Amino acid sequence: MTKKTLIIVSALTVTGVGASIAMSEYSRKPETALEKTEVASITATDLLAAFVADEQAANAKYVGQQEQAIRVTGTIRSVGPESGGLVNVVLETNDAMAGIVCEFAKADVPASWKPGDQVTLKGICTGYLIDVILNRCGSVE
């Protein structure tokens, strides 16, 4: 192999690897909560209370600057129905008007889950409207 050929092959290899990395990064799917290390573990009741008491502080801790997962334990208030391939599992709080709304891909909701069950899950906390919202949730059992 001549020196010129070696340079061309090397350049093509570097370009190919670079393009592959760029394409991989461009196509990267958002991680589910189960793929992330949780930054906090809290009960559903305490999570709502934290947002009610000081939304800004709760946003800083549970939503974070970068997307992050939290572990939440609570009692199921309702499951479903499915919409757009997603299912909402709502956890009880001390406020009948507000809950922790946990969005699951339909396939990720344990079939046995029903209202009244005590469960632990991980979700990506996106903030607080009337409820506290967790996206891309997964069961931790």
Partner 1 sequence: MNTAKNLLLSLALLPLATVAQERYMTRTGHVAFHSETPIENIHADNRKVSSVWDVTTGAVEFAVLIKAFEFEKALMQEHFNENYMESNTFPKATFKGKVTGISAEQVKKVGTYDVIVEGELTMHGVARPMKGKGSVVVDAAGLVKAGSEFTVKPEDHGIAIPGVVRKNIAEQIQVIVRMDYQKM
Contact pick of 84, 96, 107, 141 for partner 1 (by CB under 8 A)? 84
Q: How crowded is residue 97: how many other Cβ atoms within 10 Å of its Cβ?
A: 7
Contact pick of 6, 8, 14, 31 for partner 1 (by CB under 8 A)? 31
139 binds partner 1 (CB under 8 A): no
Judged by beta carbon, residue 25 or residue 141, the one nearer partner 1 is: 25
- What tokens were used for 125? 């906390």
In whole angstroms, what is the distance from residue 63 CA to residue 56 CA? 10
Interface with partner 1 (CB under 8 A), residue total: 29
- What tokens were used for 135? 């996206």
Euclidean distance between the first and final Cα of the chain, in Å? 58
Q: DSSP H helical segments within the chain, as ranges?
A: 3-27, 44-53, 55-58
Beta-carbon contacts of residue 90 (< 8 Å; ≥ 6 apart): 76, 77, 78, 79, 99, 100, 101, 102, 131
96 binds partner 1 (CB under 8 A): no
Judged by beta carbon, residue 34 or residue 52, the one nearer partner 1 is: 52
26 binds partner 1 (CB under 8 A): yes
27 binds partner 1 (CB under 8 A): yes
32 binds partner 1 (CB under 8 A): no
Contact pick of 83, 94, 118, 120 for partner 1 (by CB under 8 A)? 83
Residues that bind partner 1 (CB under 8 A): 25-31, 51-52, 55, 59, 63, 65, 67, 83-84, 86, 88, 101, 103, 126-131, 133, 135-136
